Structure formats: C-alpha cells, structure tokens
Amino acid sequence: MTAADGGLGIVATQRAVLTENGPLVLASGAKLPHVEVAYETYGALNPARDNAVVVCHALTGDAHAAGWHEGARRPGWWDNLIGPGKALDTDRFFVIASNLLGGCSGTTGPSSLDPVTGRPYGPDFPLLDIADFVTAQRGLLDHLGVERLHAAVGGSLGGMQVLEWALQEPDRIDRAVVVAASARLTPENIAFSSVARAAILEDPDFHGGRYADHGVTPRHGMKIARMMAHITYVSEVSLEEKFGHRRDTAGSDKRLDADFEVEHYLQHQGTSFLERFDALSYLHLTRPMDYFDPFGAHPDVVPSTRFRLISFDTDWRFPTAHSLRIRDELAARGVAVEHTELASPWGHDSFLLQPPGYHEAIRSFLD
C-alpha cells in the first residue's frame, strides 16, 4: 500500500542516542552508559509542537507500528489504527513509536554491546522496571524536542507504560488511552509468565544466558513460551470458530504428536516467533510486568491527564476487572477517567484488531 492508497506508504526506522550527556539511570540505580532507541514517526509536528501522540507497544511489538518497510509482507503492527484519516490521524497528529528498552529490535538490550567489556551484555544486562521503559521514552521525546503530548496510547503492556508515564510526569500528557491493561497482575497472570520463563531458563541451550557464546539459542524454550503465552491472548470463542475440533488428518489413527488444527496453529506461532525475538529480551520484558504497582509507587500523584480506559468482554488475560481497578483508583484521586467495555470475539488480542466501536472510541477521545 502506498500513501496514495490511503496508508502511510514506505517508512523507515530511525535511531537516537539518549546518553550523550551522561548514562541512563535506571529505577534500580544501575546505569547504562550507552543507550540507543529505535523509533519511527508518522505525520508532522505542527508549529505549536502540541500535536504529538506517543504509541507504546506491547510485549513483543517494536517501533514499526504503521506503514510498510521496503520489501515487507505486512505493515506495522498497528497500521489499522495509525495513518491518514484513521483513528490516529497522521494528517493531524505527529505519532511517535519506539522500541522498548531491553528489546531486540534496535533499542539497547541484552544482545547489545556493553561498552565497558566490548561484549554483548547477555545475562549481565540489568533488571528493568516499567518505569525504565518510560524513562527511555521520555528521553526520546527530549531528543525530538517534544515537551508535551496531546496523547499517549497503548494496549496491554503498552497501556501499563502509559499509566506509569502519566504518574511519572503528571502534567506532560493531556490524554491517555489505556487498552486491555493492568495496574497489578494477578497470581494467575504471574503464573502463566512464570511457566513461559521457566521453559526458556531450563532449556539446555540457554547456558545461563550465554547462549550466544555457544552459537545456539534456546529455541525449544522460546517456542514453548510463545505457544503458552499465545493461548492467553486469544479467546475460547475465537479458537472454537477458527479451529473447532478438527484434526489435521481426519480419519487417521490417533497419535501423540500434533494432530488437531489448533495444535498446528500454536506450533506455527511458536516457530515463527523464533525468527524475530531474543530469549533474554523476552525474560527482561516479561518480568517487570510482575512487579508493576504504579499506584503503590506513586501514592500521592494526581495527574492532570484525562484517561480513557477500554477493555474487552472476552479478554481473560487482563479482563475488565483490571480496568475497573485502574478507573476506581484514578477516580478516587480526582482524575478525569472514563471506562468502556467493548464486545469482541478475539480475547486479549482485540486491542490489535478492530472490534466494533473500538477505533471510534479512541478517535472521539483524541478529538
């Protein structure tokens, strides 16, 4: 698709160095002497510099939120939301999307070179907080000369970043859209992530995180982790509709290996994930979610930000109760907040799709 077809056309990822004036100090007190952030922008910053919108990605996303990379088979992960005339209208807004600190798509992370040792950080990369993701994003805004945001928008882990950011800088963001997110994970949430991490950590090829030194990757653990996580992103309704009880080899003998269509689907999801993600990044990006407690970390902060919370009725990863907790906590502090639960058959992944009323709700709130 080109810009003439109603999309953004070809876009490119850029990089910014955030540590030209000193190291990036993390919430733990650890310091990263050199930090680069991969980012993309869509639209143009207006003369008043007040039309910027930051998009925060979820766990396995990246800076490529919209448009097309040269030769790519698919557009950015939120291309249905971002572009000319879309809910995040790039004819009006200057949209900024960056890859998370600790990631593996151009931003400094465990696979990056440690300037002190000259080797990849590997398991020596410091543990992160969601506050650190936001610190890097704030640094990018400073680099771009954007002092204030018209809005910050994010789903799942992206929504958690938006919430943290509004509490860190209570007067910098005018509007916050938090979709299918949580302010504190339940034991069940933590349990699912723990199983996924255990699959990676206990893979014989993990080598204590030094797998690169051995010329291998913990492929089996990563595949299982992705298969496990993906189950929590979809709904029973969507799986039943897409696969039912159909077998790959109907009428043949029963067997122990994958047979049902849903099993092959998960196998595909796990295998394709291996080509685009790093095991240590997966560990470093999932663990901060378990410790996330922004209202406990910022007990007295009352942001001037207006909030729009959206949840989906089939999302069992972060069901509506999580959004209601955020709503009630913000309302108790006197913050302007609205919440809507939308009907969708697609479970947690609904935030990436276009169920009825979803993009319209974001558009009207940003207007």
Coil vs helix vs strand at 341 = strand
Look at residue 2 and tell me whether its pLDDT is greater than 70. no
Residues labelled as active-site residues? 156, 315, 348
Task: State the CB neighbour count (10 A cutoff) for residue 258.
Answer: 14
Mean pLDDT of 67-86: 96
Mean pLDDT of 168-177: 97
Q: Render pLDDT for 272-288 as a digit per residue (tens, 0 to 9).
A: 999 999 999 999 999 99
Look at residue 143 and tell me whether its pLDDT is greater than 70. yes
Q: Please tell me whether 172 is known to bind a ligand.
A: no
Gap between the Cα atoms of 92 and 242, Å rounded: 38
Query: According to the model, what pLDDT value does residue 98 have?
Result: 98
- What letter does residue 324 receive in the DSSP assignment? H
Using 50, 70 and 90 to split pLDDT, how confident is the model at 4?
very low
Using 50, 70 and 90 to split pLDDT, how confident is the model at 250?
low
Inter-helix orientation angle 279-291/130-144, to 10°: 110
Relative to beta strand 88-89, strand 337-342 is unpaired
Look at residue 333 and tell me whether its pLDDT is greater than 90. yes
The 3-class secondary structure across 208-274, one letter per residue, is HHCHHHHCCCCHHHHHHHHHHHHHHHCCHHHHHHHCCCCECCCCCCCCCCCCEHHHHHHHHHHHHHH
Domain architecture of the chain: domains with CATH: 3-184+293-366 (3.40.50.1820), 189-286 (1.10.1740.110)
Using 50, 70 and 90 to split pLDDT, how confident is the model at 90?
very high
Using 50, 70 and 90 to split pLDDT, how confident is the model at 254?
confident
Query: According to the model, what pLDDT value does residue 1 have?
Result: 43
- What residues are paired with 82 via a beta bridge? 88
Backbone angles phi, psi at 115, to 5 degrees: -65, -20
Inter-CA distances, 12 with 38, 63, 75, 111, 276, Å: 10, 10, 12, 22, 18
Relative to beta strand 14-17, strand 36-42 is antiparallel
Give percent of the chain with pLDDT exceeding 90. Answer: 94
Look at residue 3 and tell me whether its pLDDT is greater than 60. no
**How far from the centroid of its chain's Cα atoms is residue 346's Cα?**
18
Task: State the CB neighbour count (10 A cutoff) for residue 137.
Answer: 25
Gap between the Cα atoms of 88 and 55, Å rounded: 10
Mean pLDDT of 68-74: 94
Q: Please tell me whether 226 is known to bind a ligand.
A: yes
Query: According to the model, what pLDDT value does residue 50 have?
Result: 95
Report yes or no: 150 and 175 within 8 Å, Cβ to Cβ. yes
3-35 as b/e, with b when 16 or more CB fall inside 10 Å? eeeebbeebebeebebbeeeebebbeeeebebb
Query: According to the model, what pLDDT value does residue 310 have?
Result: 98
User: Phi-psi region for residue 209, left (φ > 0), alpha (ψ -120 to 50) or beta?
Assistant: left
Query: According to the model, what pLDDT value does residue 5 have?
Result: 52
Using 50, 70 and 90 to split pLDDT, how confident is the model at 364?
very high
235-257 as b/e, with b when 16 or more CB fall inside 10 Å? beebbeeeeeeebeeeeeeeeee
